[in-house]
Amino acid sequence: MNNAGPDQRVNLTYINPDAPLVAAPEYPGEYYDAQVPATLDLAERARLCVNALTECTDPEYDDELYWIVDLLAREPAMYHTTDDHVQAKFFSSLPLNRTQCGSGQNLDVEHRLMQTVLKMQGPDGLLYIPIKGRP
């Protein structure tokens, strides 16, 4: 669970806190609706992936991914553990899914995630997960 209050952001200690700013993601192209046979709709599956990848993040912790979801609790809850480090792996599929389905859902979350990944990148190119200030 979060240790921060409802309107309180926590400052995480990144290896590269002065990472260059990145432009907001854009997915230009032509969008249209089409009638297709009643088969597996891969574009709809990709839209659901975009939803899942951008809705299960914690804005108080720089949109860190909630990795654990407890649906069997009296009140279902999402919380952080040391397993949250898989975020970069999931983040890499977000642009691919957006390209496939054309969804513009939560582009602001994707932009913040892009900036956060750059702050985690060390001089050797590896990603370093911040420990100080984590939930």
pLDDT given at position 88: 79
pLDDT score, position 3: 47
What is the distance between the alpha carbons of residues 30 and 27, in angstroms, rounded to a whole number?
10
C-beta atoms surrounding 116 within 10 Å: 21
Beta-carbon contacts of residue 100 (< 8 Å; ≥ 6 apart): 42, 43, 46
Least Cα distance to 49 among 111, 97, 91, 105 occurs for 97
Return the pLDDT at 9: 65
pLDDT at 12: 85
Interhelix angle 94-101/107-120, rounded to 10 degrees, is 160
**pLDDT for residue 112:** 92
CA distance 10 to 3: 9
pLDDT under 50: residue ranges of the chain:
1-6
pLDDT at 8: 58
